[in-house]
């Protein structure tokens, strides 16, 4: 009598449980296993797939972490309802009000103050920390080698244009985002924020109206206020990015003097504009001769293997200024950013010299050597896999612990998730309740000059997803549920 097949328990168990998890994920995505349906029991799946019980349990845990299934006591595993995407925005155009600016600055100050609290847990700032995210040891070794060869570098003033090695590598890598830049046109800056500030100073004057995505990066609001600029909010779709129709209307009516946007991996939405939308945006700003300041800070953190091009790739007459930095991918404390100013290059170089002269040569040379060695590509691939896994796990936690009706973005890259809570939730009140428990989140009104998005918030997935992080996120979900109660 033939023996019954035995469960597979070879050294490929890790691959087996991952394959089972992917098969079930696909079945859920296709609707073969619809929301609310019960999965086969662990024992039944073990028998039908000829896998060990431990392999099946591991696969089911992966699906739990992703928020795709949930375990119900005495009942088994069930397919969860998927997190819906945030709603499409309504058309809006409004100027920033000073009371809103003041509240935004107060909230930003509270977030930063919380960082100093012992035992504080940060779910807010987009500031990755530690060796999981940065190649600190490799950079330290490279810097040591450079200083041993050129010890006089630290006692010499760094002057423009800065490290040629780094600028050459930046120009070479710009091709990954569809741009064909020249090293002599690259301006090194003190992070991306200085690049954005210089760009705004070069193309605007106090009192000008500047188009701004809504929601947008919160630190642009105090920057606009310091330069005396009026922010005109432009609706930005959580899946497709900036509304080019709205941009065309504003340009045709001559209502904005410049535009700031993040076409690739938007902060806080995590989306990228479709290719045709980027091409159309580039055509519009060139046609109307209104500068676009493109913030490409997260552009290299796209999850897809093929990188979507920057809007700057389609700039014909130099009306797009591209700004970015290596603070999110390589070395935050180096504060090395860069920009390519198109037709505004000469003015930007003068402003850079008047603002902060040049970037430290030893830091720039270290980054240049790292890029030159090919180590950056290997690091970036691992980093993107790391963030994709983090985002997936955090979305699973949100689905499990936040109120019913919560919506969340599914980012195309980076490590930020934008949540829309049920209408009755107040994210500012939630922020204060969480701060009282040494947990920091970013409430939605920080991302709008007009104080919109009261029921929204941003979460950062750029920290180790340890027990403290999971407990803190779970607690925030409970606090949101208590608001509804």
pLDDT tens-digit series, residues 192-228:
999 999 999 999 999 999 999 999 999 999 999 999 9
Mean pLDDT, to the nearest integer, of 114-135?
A: 87
Quick one: pLDDT at residue 109?
80
Average pLDDT, the chain: 91
Q: Which fold has domain 17-79?
A: Arc Repressor Mutant, subunit A (1.10.10)
Q: What is the pLDDT of residue 5?
A: 44
Q: Where in the chain is the domain with CATH 3.40.640.10?
A: 158-373
pLDDT band at 90 (very low <50, low <70, confident <90, very high): low
Q: CATH assignment of 100-131+378-483, given 3.40.50.720, 3.90.1150.10, 3.20.190.10, 3.40.50.300?
A: 3.90.1150.10
**pLDDT of the residue at 75:** 80
pLDDT at 12: 54
- ∠ CA 237-400-37, nearest 5°, is 95
- pTM, full prediction: 0.88
User: Is residue 28 predicted with pLDDT exceeding 90?
Assistant: no
pLDDT of residue 7: 47
Distances (CA, A) of 424 to 16, 22, 130, 405, 430: 44, 36, 37, 11, 12
Rg, C-alpha atoms of the chain:
24
* pLDDT, tens digit, 9 for 90 and up, residues 295-317: 999 999 999 988 999 999 999 99
Q: Provide the CA 51 distance to its chain's centre, in angstroms.
A: 38
Between the alpha carbon of residue 423 and those of residues 22, 81, 161, 394, the distances in Å are 34, 19, 51, 22
pLDDT over threshold 70, residue 1: no
The CATH code that applies to domain 158-373 is 3.40.640.10
Res. 100 pLDDT band, cuts 50 70 90: low
Written as six digits, the tokens of 67 are 């928020």
Task: Give pLDDT tens digits for 152-178.
Answer: 999 999 999 999 999 999 999 999 999
According to the model, what pLDDT value does residue 101 have? 62
Q: Where in the chain is the domain with CATH 3.90.1150.10?
A: 100-131+378-483
CA–CA separation, 178 and 65 (whole Å): 36
């Amino acid at each position: 009598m033939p023996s019954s097949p035995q469960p597979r328990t070879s050294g490929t168990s890790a691959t087996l449980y991952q394959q089972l998890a992917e098969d079930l994920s696909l079945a859920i995505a296709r609707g073969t296993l619809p929301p609310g349906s019960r999965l086969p029991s662990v024992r039944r799946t073990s028998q039908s797939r000829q896998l060990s019980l431990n392999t099946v349990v591991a696969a089911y845990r992966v699906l739990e972490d992703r928020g795709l299934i949930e375990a119900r006591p005495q009942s088994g595993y069930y397919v969860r309802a998927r997190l819906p995407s945030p709603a499409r925005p309504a058309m809006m155009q409004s100027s920033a009000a000073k009371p809103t600016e003041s509240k935004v600055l107060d909230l930003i100050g509270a977030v930063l103050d919380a960082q100093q609290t012992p035992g504080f847990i940060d779910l807010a700032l987009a500031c990755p920390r530690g060796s999981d995210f940065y190649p600190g040891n490799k950079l330290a070794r490279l810097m040591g080698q450079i200083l041993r060869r050129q010890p006089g570098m630290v006692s010499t003033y760094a002057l423009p244009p800065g490290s040629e090695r780094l600028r050459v590598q930046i120009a070479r890598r710009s091709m990954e985002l569809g741009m064909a830049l020249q090293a002599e046109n690259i301006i090194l800056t003190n992070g991306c924020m200085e690049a954005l500030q210089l760009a705004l100073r070069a193309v605007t004057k106090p009192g000008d109206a500047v188009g701004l995505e809504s929601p947008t990066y919160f630190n642009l609001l105090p920057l606009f206020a310091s330069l005396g600029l009026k922010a005109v909010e432009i609706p930005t779709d959580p899946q497709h990015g900036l509304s080019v129709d709205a941009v065309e209307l504003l340009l045709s009516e001559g209502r904005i003097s410049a535009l700031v946007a993040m076409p690739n991996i938007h902060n806080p939405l995590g989306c990228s504009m479709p290719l045709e939308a980027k091409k159309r945006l580039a055509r519009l700003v060139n046609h109307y001769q209104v500068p676009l300041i493109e913030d490409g800070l997260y552009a290299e953190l796209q999850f897809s293997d093929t990188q979507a091009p920057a809007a700057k790739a389609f700039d014909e007459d130099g009306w797009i200024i591209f700004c970015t930095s290596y603070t999110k991918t390589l070395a935050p404390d180096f504060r090395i950013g860069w920009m390519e100013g198109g037709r505004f290059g000469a003015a930007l170089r003068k402003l850079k010299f008047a603002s902060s002269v040049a970037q430290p040569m030893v830091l720039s040379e270290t980054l240049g050597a790292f890029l030159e060695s090919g180590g950056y590509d290997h690091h970036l691939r691992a980093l993107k896999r790391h963030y994709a896994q983090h985002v997936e796990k955090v979305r699973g936690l949100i689905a499990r612990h936040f109120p019913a009706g919560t919506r969340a973005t599914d980012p195309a890259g980076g490590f930020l998730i934008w949540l829309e809570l049920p209408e009755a939730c107040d994210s500012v009140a939630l922020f204060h309740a969480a701060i009282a428990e040494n947990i920091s989140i970013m409430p939605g009104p920080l991302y709008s000059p007009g104080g919109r998005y009261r029921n929204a918030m941003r979460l950062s997935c750029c920290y180790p997803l340890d027990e403290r992080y999971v407990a803190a996120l779970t607690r925030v979900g409970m606090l949101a549920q208590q608001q509804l109660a």
